[in-house]
Amino acid sequence: MMKPDRCTFCKGKLIEGKTEFVVKVGEKVLTVKDISAYICEECGEAYYTPEVSEKIDQLMKKFHESTLLMHPVAAGELSLGEAVA
């Protein structure tokens, strides 16, 4: 596979790094940490290799089937309209 060079959104330079993948399905939120990716230095957009994308797809399939073993994490969620200054 050829290493991606530039961000398709802002044309920023991509560097190898780690990121996290966050998705909300209904009321459940799944966060996958420490994912290897090429990350844009300008806007932070992450690009995954086909191998990493396949692993994420497998995790999502298990998540939808409720067969994914996860550690529960306390999280807060607040909409901007509910925030009190």
What residue spans define the domains of the chain?
14-82
- Give the separation between CA 25 and CA 70, rounded to whole angstroms: 15
Give the CATH number of domain 14-82: 3.10.20.860
Q: Is the pTM of this model over 0.85?
A: no
Q: Which residue has the higher pLDDT, 4 or 79?
A: 4
Which CA distances in Å does 40 have to 5, 13, 19, 56, 68? Answer: 9, 6, 11, 20, 30
Cα–Cα distance, 74 to 63 (Å, whole number): 18
**Per-residue pLDDT band at 29 (split at 50, 70, 90):** confident
pLDDT of residue 77: 58
Cα 43 from Cα 1, distance rounded (Å): 23
